Structure 1
Amino acid sequence: MFTGIVEETGTVRSLTLPTGPDGDAADAVITVDARIVTSDASLGDSIAVDGVCLTVRTLDPDRGAFTADVMPETLRRTALSRLAPGARVNLERAVRADTRLGGHIVQGHVDGVGALRSRTPGARWDDLVVDVPAGLARYVAEKGSVTVSGVSLTVTAVGDDWFGVSLIPTTLEETVLGDLPPGAPVNIEVDVIAKYVERLLGDRS
């Protein structure tokens, strides 16, 4: 489990995308340079990469890097396959039981890929509008929580196929959302509680 509070931005060193017999990516191996999240990491640990929970496969502590496998399901549901060497990514280690939950409950299980529709600069903040995939908008509520590429954010407005968020100076400076251009893809994870409520109410109807 994660909180959506990004610890650092890392850099993609490589992304290997072998193709299967149907021409689609069968799986992938990603290598990320990152000093903070690898400082105490062990093989098998979970690290969220742009909001996607990945398992550490190998570690290179001297260079501050780790590799992880990315399964076909993850490639289909996230924007990881669109990353290129040199791309910056948001990183967060799994939350510890003895620390504060600063954001909200984030599983690292991306629900779909959205896109940044617009960015409006403010005095010390930016207002963003994000296009949300069909079927996910119903889980997003004004003043509720949403995860955008691993960043826990509060929803400021919501429409049929979009939602708004505001980025404080810390988010602008310390995550990849700070310089994300309109049209860029983003990983979206909605609040898991909303999905469970829908499931329970559906079973009762």
Structure 2
Amino acid sequence: MTALSHAQETKGDVKAGEKKIAMCIGCHGIPGYQASFPEIHKVPMISGQSGAYIASALDAYRKGDRKHPTMRGIADSLTDQDIADVAAYYAQHGKAGAAELPAKPKREPSVQVAELLKKGACVSCHGDNFAKPIDPSYPHIAGQHADYLFVALKSYKAEKNANVGRSNAIMAGVAKQFTNAELKALANYLGSLEGDMHTVPQSRFR
């Protein structure tokens, strides 16, 4: 069994996860909080995100498949059980009524973006509304911060950089088809859609 599958298959406990998020809330628990690496962008919303995706992402940071010094340091400190618990904690924060998200986005893409979505075959993995992926280890992307999506998409194009980049053959193949301007157009559209993720402010920051 690979480390990834073991991390994903470990059963998470929400209550245990609540006690293990001290390193997460400083960024992900502050609405609108911005990171400055590798460029200024809002940190992603993870409350309501798929638990399997969160586990997969943390394991990728831990293994170095995702390069980000801060996230690597945090992930390195987590066991498989810690990852499962943290993922379970954030996954249970879906927005009320999120199950009633439309089957397809209410906001139609521009002709240009529609062509880009078709070229990238985005719906084939992330779902027609980009909030119901075909595999739980794939992320919900509808409504995610557009500037973060842009940075994330560009990271799949990065090569030979010790601190930036994501190793995912499928996403690399998709992202490398597009210019950065096209990736930004995709990110802006996806970020404008109704989604099921949000930021849950932590009481200690209120």
User: Please, what TM-score do these two structures have when normalized by structure 2?
Assistant: 0.29
Q: Which structure features the higher share of helix residues?
A: 2
Query: Relative CO higher for 1 or 2, CA cutoff 8 Å, sep ≥ 6?
Result: 2
User: Please, what TM-score do these two structures have when normalized by structure 1?
Assistant: 0.29
